[in-house]
Amino acid sequence: MTYVIHGVFSFLATAMFGIIFNSPRNRLLHCGFVGAVGWLVFFSSRDLLLEGDAVKASFIGAFAVAIVAHLFSKRYRTPMIIFSVAGIIPLVPGGTAYNTMRNVMEKSYDAANAHAMEVLMISGAIAMGLVFAEVIIQLVFNNRKTA
Amino acid sequence: MNDSREEMGIDACLLAGRLMMEAGAETYRADDTMKRMAASLDMHGADSFTTSTGIIFSPGGQRRVKLTSIRRRATDLEKIARVNAISRLLSSGEISLEEAYRELKKTENGNFMFPFWLQVMAAAVASASFLVLFGGDWKNMIFAIIAGGAGFAVSEKFHERTRVKFFSEFTGSAMIGLISLAAVGSGGGSQLDIIIIASVMPLVPGLLITNAIRDLMSGHFMSGISKGMEAFLTAFAIGSGIAMVLSFQGVGM
């Protein structure tokens, strides 16, 4: 049940981001789908596989977003960015960034440092996920072309 | 190719590049589009130097080098898709240079944005959805809707009026902080943290973050670093807006 609720709301959130980023009208549902896949992969791998490790889960989530976005971009011959931009939004570590800022304000700098490092690690993991997916896609795609 | 046609070709390439950068495309895509268009127009040896604030385009040979500056940047995925489609059609020879140039001009002057009220609604619904994703209580949803919508609207309007970067995000997130504080202070809502986090999500510079990474990875260090810096400053502005409101409230957070 939790997964159904999360699926529905991550779809909704990402599709709404499609509107804010002005995606092409007929691609909004695809944007939502990319976001829902990314979030569900992130959420399930964090809680089931990785015992709450958000860094690795973000990597896997971003990887999934990039793969699905790439498949859509090949299918509809539109730039990949249209699908991936909204899709990674749910993965952005907003909560941890907020905790960093709050701890700085409360002058508990040790806690702030820990949170800041986590924000850095998660952002890096998202970046690595996107890049890894792209590299793998390029390798697969080029191989197929030469074969 | 005669002179005026050549001029039009160079202008079309530059215009396509500029539209893409203004709409928030990756730098390598703008570069690639310009080179493809130039190749299809028989400008061999064409090259370009693209940064997030300007483009220098050299059509190769004896032709003139031109540059264009990029003054405003907004996220407009529709525009990227349109310019991409035009350049595809031009490269495959399905439309002529004149048609392509006309279409590009139309894209430049057209307004394809969703209406403002719809964007605000979208921000509000997105905030409510994030509240659920972040484990918030259902009864706080209404506050996320109000704060998220109001914060986004304030930030966009400020950006329109003042054109001062980062200040609009600052006011937007301060607004969110105020509304969330009022909601929790009046006893109607709980979970101040989650309401605030969910409501600031629409202000997050998502496009800048993805683009900064992709630019850096494709070797466009100039634009990669400047976009990364822009993303960092935007995030910082959001954080300080919230921080300001919370600090006036006292440390009893």
Question: Three-state SS across B10-40?
Answer: HHHHHHHHHHHHHHCCCHHHHHHHHHHHHHH
Contact A130 B213 (CB under 8 A): yes
Does the beta carbon of A47 lie under 8 angstroms from any beta carbon of chain B? no
Question: Exposure of A71 by Cβ count < 10 A (0-12 exposed, 13-18 middle, 19+ buried)?
Answer: middle
Residues in chain B: 253
B193 closest CB neighbour out of A77, A85, A98: A98
The pair of structure tokens assigned to A101 is 């800022």
Contact residues on chain B for A18, CB-CB shorter than 8 A: 77
Contact B217 A106 (CB under 8 A): no
Low-confidence ranges of chain B (pLDDT < 50): 251-253
The number of folded domains in chain A is: 1
Question: Exposure of B247 by Cβ count < 10 A (0-12 exposed, 13-18 middle, 19+ buried)?
Answer: middle
Average pLDDT rounded to a whole number, residues A81-105 = 86
Cβ-contact B158, B174 below 8 angstroms: no
Contact residues on chain B for A39, CB-CB shorter than 8 A: 133
Contact residues on chain A for B88, CB-CB shorter than 8 A: 77
Average pLDDT rounded to a whole number, residues A85-105 = 86
Q: What is the pLDDT of residues B170-201, one digit of tens each?
A: 999 999 999 998 888 887 778 888 999 999 98
Cβ-contact A87, A72 below 8 angstroms: no
What are the backbone dihedrals phi and psi of residue B79, each rounded to the nearest 5 degrees, phi first? -65, -40
Q: What is the pLDDT of residues A132-145, one digit of tens each?
A: 998 898 888 776 65
pLDDT the model gives residue B118: 92
Q: ipTM score of the complex?
A: 0.87
Q: What is the pLDDT of residues A5-64, one digit of tens each?
A: 999 999 999 999 999 888 888 888 999 999 999 999 999 998 888 777 889 999 999 999
A138 CB contacts (<8 Å, ≥6 apart)?
Answer: none
Q: What is the CA radius of gyration of chain B?
A: 22
Edge-to-edge strand list for the sheet holding B47-50: B47-50, B54-58, B66-69
Contact residues on chain A for B83, CB-CB shorter than 8 A: none
User: What residue spans define the domains of chain B?
Assistant: 3-109, 116-248
Contact A9 B113 (CB under 8 A): no
- Span between the terminal Cα atoms of chain B, in Å: 70
Question: Is residue A105 over pLDDT 60?
Answer: yes
A19 closest CB neighbour out of B118, B207, B253: B118
Cα–Cα distance, B9 to B15 (Å, whole number): 10
Which secondary-structure segment (H or E) carries B58?
strand B54-58
> DSSP character for B188?
S
pLDDT the model gives residue A147: 46
pLDDT the model gives residue B1: 56
Q: What count of other Cβ atoms lies within 10 Å of the Cβ of residue A29?
A: 11
Give the closest-approach CA distance of B190 to chain A in angstroms. Answer: 16
A131 closest CB neighbour out of B196, B207, B217: B217
Does the beta carbon of A94 lie under 8 angstroms from any beta carbon of chain B? yes
pLDDT the model gives residue B209: 79
Contact residues on chain B for A104, CB-CB shorter than 8 A: 243
Question: What is the residue range of A23's domain?
Answer: 2-146
Average pLDDT, chain A: 87
Give the closest-approach CA distance of B207 to chain A in angstroms. Answer: 6
Cα–Cα distance, A130 to A140 (Å, whole number): 16
Cβ-contact B37, B12 below 8 angstroms: yes
Cα–Cα distance, B18 to A26 (Å, whole number): 25
Does the beta carbon of A78 lie under 8 angstroms from any beta carbon of chain B? yes
Give the closest-approach CA distance of B46 to chain A in angstroms. Answer: 23
Q: At what angle do helices B27-40 and B3-23 cross, to 10 degrees?
A: 160
Contact A102 B253 (CB under 8 A): yes
B126 closest CB neighbour out of A16, A23, A106: A16
Q: Tell me which of B94, B133, B170 to substitute to probe the interface with A (most A C-beta atoms closer than 10 Å).
A: B133
The pair of structure tokens assigned to A36 is 């829902």
A5 closest CB neighbour out of B75, B132, B204: B132
SS3 B47: strand
Contact B133 A39 (CB under 8 A): yes
Cα–Cα distance, B106 to B238 (Å, whole number): 35
Cα–Cα distance, B224 to B233 (Å, whole number): 14
> DSSP character for A71?
H
pLDDT the model gives residue B251: 46
